[in-house]
Amino acid sequence: MQLIKHAHACVSLVKDGGRIAIDPGTFTPDAKEVVAAADAVLITHEHFDHFDEDLIARALDARPGLRVYGPARVVGRWAARRGQVIAVADGDRLDVAGFDVAVSGDLHAAIHRDIPRVANVGYLVDGRVYHPGDAYHVPPAAVDTLLLPTSGPWTQLGQAADYVREVAPNRLVQIHEIMLSRTGQESMARFLSPAALTEMPLTIVPEGEAITV
């Protein structure tokens, strides 16, 4: 399986002719092309940096075969498109474009007591790659490659390090990096490394590049 890193929280996964995209939001400049190339789109939660509502609406209109999965608050706005949009929640198991997708998690990480927490799910794809959205939720299964958010108003270095320790993946790949400069990303990689807080080094995949997972 190939993982293509796009800007911020968005990745594409490609295998055996199937392709899915996770979290093409407004911080991802090529989100339109990402969605156009995908058989299905998985959304972790409703925040705009993960979910470009207008883009997805246009894609659903243009491509009846496109499937979109996400929490009920995300897909519920297209209730007339049953079968094309599918609500998911913790514990669901799906076959999406030839990928085995296990859904886990429930709420976005806390930002501030004055900001309501929204539904947030994570996706474990083929029992290998886990995208947590905006939460430090530990899925109920082993994770080979953990996609780790490194910036945002809810992230904390100490919690991130403890999260990596608890999940104990074989590979750690940065996502959700848009609020960090290159120096900031490299600083996070120093903290999240065997030389500091975690047993697994943080891999920084440049935008547009792919790795095998």
Is the C-alpha dihedral spanning 28, 32, 34, 38 positive or negative? positive
Per cent of the chain over pLDDT 70 is: 100
Helix (H) / strand (E) containing 62: helix 53-62
Q: In b/e form, how buried is each residue of 165-196, taking b as 16+ CB within 10 angstroms?
A: eebebebbbbbbbeebeeeeeeebbebbeeee
How many CB atoms sit inside 10 A of residue 89's CB?
13
Query: Measuring CA to CA, which residue among 22, 66, 12, 62 is closest to residue 44?
Result: 22
What is the pLDDT confidence band of residue 64, given thresholds at 50, 70 and 90?
A: very high
Does the pTM exceed 0.75? yes
The predicted structure's pLDDT at residue 46: 98
pLDDT at 82 over 90: no
Contact 148, 175 (CB under 8 A): yes
pLDDT tens digits for range 2-31: 999 999 999 999 999 999 999 999 999 999
